[in-house]
Amino acid sequence: FNTCCIRDNAERKALGNITWLKEIKRVRPHMLIGVCGCMMQQQGMAEKILAQYPFVDIAFGTGNFYRLGEFLLEAIDTGSRVIRVSDDDSTLFEGTPISRMADHKAYVAIMHGCNNYCTYCIVPYVRGRERSRKADDIVREVACLQQSGVKEITLLGQNVNSFGTDTGDTTFPKLLRRLEGTGISRIRFITSHPKDLSDALIEEMARNKAICPHMHLPVQSGSDRILRAMNRRYTAEEYLRKVHLLRQAWPDIGLTTDFIVAFPGETEADFEDTLSLVRSVRYDSAFTFIFSPRAGTRAATLPGRIDPDVATGRIERLIAEQEAMTADILAGMKGACAHVLVDGVSRRRSTQLTGKSERNLSVNFTGDKSLVGSIVPVIIEGAGSNTLRGKMKGDAT
């Protein structure tokens, strides 16, 4: 299991799944069980696994995942448990073989770690400081993917806008320009921190033919007081100014975001500032979370915890507000042409294909499954609550 510890429920789910494997191991005693990832990097977690989960054979962290083969051989050869959670996560290893889920889409990590220390967030503690890969290595990887038929890449990093700051090697806009040169059809990236969204990136986005017109720009809250307590280092007004600049450069860009509700001390007025920000930005969609205290972070020790019923009430109101906005945006797309990268056959109807438009919206249309992996022009005819429907018009590429 590769684990996540960003929120308490991610952690509980992982521990639940690990516990469940115990039964399988009873039937198949030679099966090896390994647990890795962020949860293992938390203080005391490896010891907990060691003591309370005796059926786990291998545990390792985020810094030494490239040694999985070695850990497996060691567990097989010695028959003993291999627990290797390293503190040293500063080296980046290139050339680890990657098995990817789809033939036409790929995720490419361009940096690891984070330097931002948002007060609620455990990432800087479990993933370490920001480390960027070398631009040459990334360009080589993307060129290989392009040659093997991949149409779309998503560049990954906790804060892609600060790519290259640690190495002094290059910048994120320069990397995007080089990646366009590989001939890859589509480039996406997550996540952009609003404070580091530069004019140079906005210019590059508007110029670069491969970049998709979509940006995930997590705002977290619409209240300046809460943003300050979160250490996000922007105000709602500064955020809205960046949104304005983005839309000026690229009028039909789609924006998505993340929100945390019920941060310690959040008042009804703070929450209403968040609702009003939703109305002014008009996001295509949003991920919404209730604040989850993470041991070791500053926010976990703050006074003013919000009553769980109040928190649930707020998240429901936020979701309702966003759903209404999504429906309105989708309804307004009737008659537009979307270029859909086909992901597969719809789960509901076998004659329907499903894929993502350049703006990252789900689109369903009638077509043959041989189109999976192609980019197809589709005229939008209608919308459901969070998907678009349309008709193919023109040739696939």
Q: Smallest gap, in angstroms, from Cβ of residue 283 to ligand SF4?
A: 18
Q: Which does 365 bind (CB under 5 to 8 A by kind): ligand SAH, ligand SF4, none?
A: none
Q: Rounded to whole angstroms, what are the CA distances from 114 to 123, 124, 176, 212, 227?
A: 7, 5, 20, 25, 18
What residue ranges bind ligand SF4 (CB under 6 A)?
114, 116-118, 121, 123-124, 158-159, 193
Q: Could you tell which of ligand SAH, ligand SF4, none binds residue 117, using a CB distance below 5 to 8 A set by kind?
A: ligand SF4
Cα–Cα separations (whole angstroms), residue 211 to 189, 207, 253: 9, 9, 11
Question: Cis peptide leading into 3, omega within 30 of 0?
Answer: no
- Does residue number 154 form part of the binding site for ligand SAH (CB under 6 A)? no
Q: Which pairs with CB-CB distance under 8 Å and at least 24 residues apart come from 74-83?
A: 75/32, 76/32, 81/50, 81/56, 81/57, 82/57, 82/58, 83/46, 83/49, 83/50, 83/58, 83/59
Q: Which residue has the tokens 């931002």?
A: 116
Question: Which residue's CB is nearer to ligand SF4, number 64 or number 161?
Answer: 161
**CA–CA separation, 108 and 178 (whole Å):** 15
Question: Taking CB under 6 A as the rule, does residue 163 contact ligand SAH?
Answer: no
7 is an interface residue for ligand SAH by CB under 6 A: yes
Closest to ligand SF4 by CB, 92 vs 337, is: 92
- The one among 185, 292, 322, 364 contacting ligand SAH by CB under 6 A: 292
Distances (CA, A) of 244 to 89, 116, 237, 252, 314: 38, 24, 10, 12, 27
> Which residue, 156 or 337, is less far from ligand SAH as judged by CB?
156
* Contact between 154 and 142 (Cβ < 8 Å): no
281 makes contact, choosing from ligand SAH, ligand SF4, none, with CB < 5 to 8 Å by partner type, with: none
With 0-12 CB in 10 A as exposed, 13-18 as middle and 19+ as buried, what is 245? middle
* Distance in Å, CB of 365 to ligand SAH, minimum: 31
Judge contact between 186 and 152, C-beta under 8 A. Answer: yes
| Residue 151 interacts with which of ligand SAH, ligand SF4, none, CB < 5 to 8 Å by class | none
Partner whose binding site includes residue 333, from ligand SF4, ligand SAH, none (CB under 5 to 8 Å by kind):
none
Based on CB atoms, which residue is closest to ligand SAH, 113 or 373?
113
Give which of ligand SAH, ligand SF4, none residue 389 binds (C-beta under 5 to 8 Å, depending on kind).
none
**At which residue do the structure tokens 């999985």 appear?**
68
Q: Is 260 in the site for ligand SAH (CB under 6 A)?
A: yes
CA 108 to CA 163: how far, in whole Å? 13
CB of 80 to ligand SAH, least distance (A): 36
**Is 342 buried (19+), middle (13-18) or exposed (0-12) by CB count in 10 A?**
buried
Q: Which residues pair with 152 in a beta bridge?
A: 105, 186
Which residue's CB is nearer to ligand SAH, number 10 or number 345?
A: 10
Report 111-140 residues binding ligand SAH (CB under 6 A): 120-121
Structure tokens at 110: 């361009």
Whole-number minimum distance, CB 158 to ligand SF4, in Å? 4
Nearer to ligand SAH, 292 or 362 (CB): 292
Residue placing its CB nearer to ligand SF4 in the complex, 116 or 276? 116
By beta-carbon proximity to ligand SAH, the closer residue of 159 and 362 is 159
Stretch 186-245 residues interacting with ligand SAH (CB under 6 A): 191, 193, 218, 220
